[in-house]
Structure 1
Amino acid sequence: MAMAIAVIVLAVGSVLFFFFSPWYLTPLASNWGAIDDTIQITLWVTGAVFLAVNLFLAYVIVRYRYNQRRRSQYDPENKSLELWLTGLTTLGIAGLLAPGLVVWAAFVSPPEDAHEVEVVGQQWHWSFRFPGEDGRFGSAHNRFIDEHNPFGLIDDPAGQDDILITAPHLLLPVDRPVKMVLRSKDVLHNVKVANFRAKMDMVPGQTSYFWFTPTELGEYEIVCAQLCGIAHFAMRGRVEVVEQATFDAWLDDQLTYAEIAARDPGNLEAGESRYTSCAACHGAEGQGNQALNAPKLAGLDAWYLERQLELFRSGARGTHEDDVLGQQMRPFASMLPDRQAIADVAAYIETLPERPLQATLDAGDPERGARRYRTCANCHGQQGQGIRATNGPRLAGMPDWYLERQLQNFRQGIRGRHREDPYGNQMIEMAQVLVDDRAVSDVVAYIATLPQPAMAVAAANARDGEE
């Protein structure tokens, strides 16, 4: 009897928890109320079966409990019972599948007036592409992806006016249907916006799609709903639903493929002239100055330098009240008036000669740090060399005191919390893996042991001389 009562209490309690739980679907912000209806049907069908099975189990426990004066009856064939069970099961399965099939057919049948957006997923980042004035996407293929062509666009006239959005921040107009064309650069991803009731797998080598109509102004989170690697949980973006006029103005400000391709590379001469104000803290050759809390710049890639200077300049970095040193950097970054000036300085810094650094901290254990660094290596490389494809900058050869400070800033949310710093937001999530100060010191100590590029070049030259 006690077992039967426990089964009944658990079954009824589960049902009550569902009805009175504060956790439920996010507010609907699209036209897909039919998906909510399908979810409700699924819950009612499965809930009824769950309750019926558990109550029947409780009944069986009581009705057929042990009785030494009763003999069990073996009845392997009961056609009447089998017909009932088969019929009820058929109705239940039909109730589960039929509504979903109807909604699915509509979900992948966009209206003719839907505008298109391509969503590109990669480890661990979202980017977007709009067709230009011709209304057609240019051809693209993953084998053409490189540092200068992150979307893999082919030399197609239709793609010259395609609008490329490299930041994981998308604007969409309210009350206008949109077809989302999905493509993956590397592994299996799944784009999901819970408020839109919209999600779909992104399979490398294939193109998938769905459509919806945003109905509520606001900002919603894009997540990856498919386990895609070590930083899967940090693969997030934002979709903002705005009025049509706001969307048009934003889209007009974005660059086309042709405009990006035609941008002038950094001018070394102009960059050298602009670098004079940086040299006062970072050194004439970018060697850094710990006394002034100025990190080493020589050896960093231009793409990373450009991004950080733009973050300082726009206020996405260096505005936190506890980031005193970042606040000092902002006025200097503001002296760079535009994107070209930033590119000039970054290009010049990339040419500065690099000299190996000696470790200044001795609190960490490199052996323990090597184990913890395995997570970092997925973005920054096994040798800390940096990986452009994952937007992970170089770590090897960077000052240990600076690395430790930045990791602490990420852990405490002093750096990376700004909404316009998507990679900083990812680093906050990843830095939480380092659970305490000792873990931070261990990782930094291990990074200090990684071969620095200047040392590697010198070693290679020495070997060549011996041969």
Structure 2
Amino acid sequence: MAIAIALIVLALGSVLFHILSPWYFTPIASNWATIDNTISITFWVTGVVFIAVSGFTAWAVIRYRHRHDARAEYEPENKKLEWRLLIITTLGVASMLAPGLVVWAQFVNVPPEADVVEAVAQQWNWSYRLPGKDGKLGTVDARFVDAANPFGMNPNDPNGRDDVLVSSPELHLPLGRPVRVLLRSKDVLHNFAIAEIRVKMDLVPGLITRVWFTPTKAGTYDLLCQELCGIGHYAMRGRMVVEDAATFQAWLDRQPTYAQISARAPADAGAGKGLFAACGACHGQQGEGNVAMNAPKLSGQPAWYLERQLKQFKQGSRGTHEKDTFGKMMVPMAATLPDDAAIANVAAYIASLPDTPAPATIQGNASSGSRRYATCAACHGAQGQGIVATNAPRLKGMSDWYMARQLRNFREGVRGTHAQDPHGAQMALIAAMLADDAAIGDVIAYINKP
């Protein structure tokens, strides 16, 4: 009797939990409501079967419980029962599969008027490519991929000259227009998933997969990789912003094309020397850093990273938090650089300065730090040398006191929380693993280890 009651309570509790639970689908924001309907049908079919099987089992436990004066009857075949089970099972399976096949038929047939976007995945970032005014995407090839051409654009394909390249993990789409998303991976398996859209698809190296949908609700939605793609998988996040056509077009017009990026003049370190004069007052004339001025060492850092930080200070995605005292000091300094060319020139000059390792000022347990640094090494390199492909700057030989401060800032939300700082957001997740200042000291001690 106790087992029968437990089975009934389990079935009733499961149904009530499903009905009353606050955890269910996120609000849908695309045309794929049919996917929700398909899942709901599956819930109904499996729910009815679950209740029926649980009820029958409870009934059988009571009806056929052990009795001293009763004997079991052996019935090896019961054609009537077998036919009933066959028909009921067939109807149940068909009711679950048929709607899915209908949805799949819609899923594989992309509307001819759909816009085209390419989403490119790599450990552990998203980037995007949109066709230019010709409406065609140029060809790409893995052999063209390098630091200057991360998308692998074919320089000999005229259709790619006006392609719009978005290096940010934030993708903007117009409201109410169907879009076909071509999916390409540069390294390992990834997965393109936006919960509110209801469609997801793997990105397979060497193949182009695709999804399509029509955004039906304006807003900002998280884009997640839902395929385990390495140690930094959990930090691989992007955003999809759905907005009206005019706002989308204004955003699109601000993005560079492949032709514009290719035509950019090389940075002029000579011109950057004069602009660096004001920076040298704090950071040192050789970019060696000055702890008394709270100015970290700059020499030795790659130009691409210096450019990114200066742009963030200038654009307001860094140095605006109320607790970022020293970051606020950099904001007016970055504002003295009038445009991207000036920023590139300063960065080029700094990159040309002699690289003298900063003295170690933080003590810690390097052995303990080596275990913690294993996660950091996936992006920053085993020797802390920095890796441009993972957007990770150099750590080895840089100002350790500055690194300690920034790790605390990331951990405490002072840095990495701005919507336009996706790389900072990744670092905030990593820094959260360092529970206290001792853990930070151990990691830095390992980085400084000869």
Alignment TM class, shorter chain as reference: over 0.9
* Unmatched runs of 5 consecutive residues or more in structure 1: 452-467
2:234 maps to what in 1?
233
Query: Structure 1 length normalisation: TM-score?
Result: 0.94
Instruction: Show the counterpart of 1:108.
Output: 108
SS state of the match for residue 112, structure 1?
coil
Give 2:158's aligned residue. Answer: 157
Amino acid at match of 2:385: Q
Contact 2:174 2:244 in 1 (8 A): yes
Q: Aligned partners of 1:358 and 1:68: how far apart in 2?
A: 87
User: What amino acid maps onto 2:177 in structure 1?
Assistant: R
Q: What SS does the corresponding residue of 1:320 show, helix, strand or coil? A: coil
Q: Does 1:420 align with 2:424?
A: no
**What is the deviation of 1:238?**
1.2
Partner of 1:12: 12
The reply on whether 1:369 has 2:361 as its aligned counterpart is no
Aligned partners of 1:283 and 1:289 also within 8 Å: yes
Deviations 1:180-206 (A, max 9, x none): 111111111111111111211111111
Taking structure 2 as the reference length, what is the TM-score of the superposition?
0.97
Distance in 1, Cα, partners of 2:341 & 2:130: 24
Query: Which amino acid letter does the alignment assign opposite residue 90 of structure 2?
Result: T
**Cα contact 1:379–1:391 (8 A) shared by 2:** yes
Measured against aligned partners, the alpha-carbon deviations of 1:421-451 in whole angstroms (never above 9, x if no partner) come to 00000111111121222221211111111x5
Residues 57-68 of structure 1: pairs in structure 2 closer than 5 A: 57-68=57-68
1:91 Cα deviation after fit: 1.5
Asked if 1 retains the 8 angstrom alpha-carbon contact of 2:297 and 2:358, the reply is no
Shift of 1:269: 0.8
Q: Equivalents in 2 of 1:56, 1:173: separation in Å?
A: 53
Superposed CA offset, 1:5-45 (max 9, x none): 11211111111111111111111111111111111111111
Aligned to 1:34, what secondary structure does the other structure show?
helix
Secondary structure of the residue aligned to 1:287 is: coil
Q: Corresponding residue for 1:458?
A: none
Which stretch of structure 1 is more off in the superposition, 331-340 or 51-60?
51-60
Moved over 4 A (4+): none
Q: Distance in 2 between matches of 1:76 and 1:305?
A: 79
Contact 1:109 1:210 in 2 (8 A): no
Q: Structure 2: which amino acid aligns with 1:274?
A: L
AA at the equivalent of 1:187: V
- Residue 83 of structure 1 deviates from its aligned partner by 2.1
1:145-170: CA deviation from partner (whole Å, max 9, x where unpaired): 11011111112111111000010111
Alpha-carbon distance between aligned partners in 2 of 1:37 and 1:414, rounded to the nearest angstrom: 43
How high is the sequence identity, in percent, across the aligned residues?
A: 58
Partner of 2:312: 311
Q: Structure 2: which 5+ residue stretches go unaligned? A: none
RMSD: 1.2
Q: CA deviation at 1:174?
A: 0.8
Q: CA separation in 2, counterparts of 1:277 and 1:100?
A: 64
Instruction: Say if 1:28 and 1:195, in contact at 8 Å, map to a contact too.
Output: yes
Q: CA deviation at 1:57?
A: 2.0
Instruction: Write the distance in 1 (CA, Å) between the matches of 2:375 and 2:161.
Output: 38
SS of the residue aligned with 1:342? helix
Q: After the TM superposition, which residues 83-162 of structure 1 pair with which residues of structure 2 at under 5 Å, given as runs?
A: 83-154=83-154, 155-162=156-163
Q: Quick check: 82-91 or 239-248, which moved more? A: 82-91
Tell me which residue corresponds to 1:33: 33
What residue number does 2:278 align with? Answer: 277
Alpha-carbon displacement from aligned partner over 1:287-309 (angstroms, at most 9, x marks no partner): 10111111100110111111111
Aligned to 2:181: 180
Q: Quote the offset at 1:82 in angstroms.
A: 2.3
Q: Would you say how many aligned residue pairs link Structure 1 and Structure 2?
A: 449
Mean Cα deviation higher: 285-294 or 42-51: 42-51
Distance in 2 (alpha carbons) for counterparts of 1:351 and 1:328: 24
The aligned amino acid for 1:308 is Q
Structure 1 match to 2:169: 168
Which one-letter code corresponds to 2:14 in the other structure? S
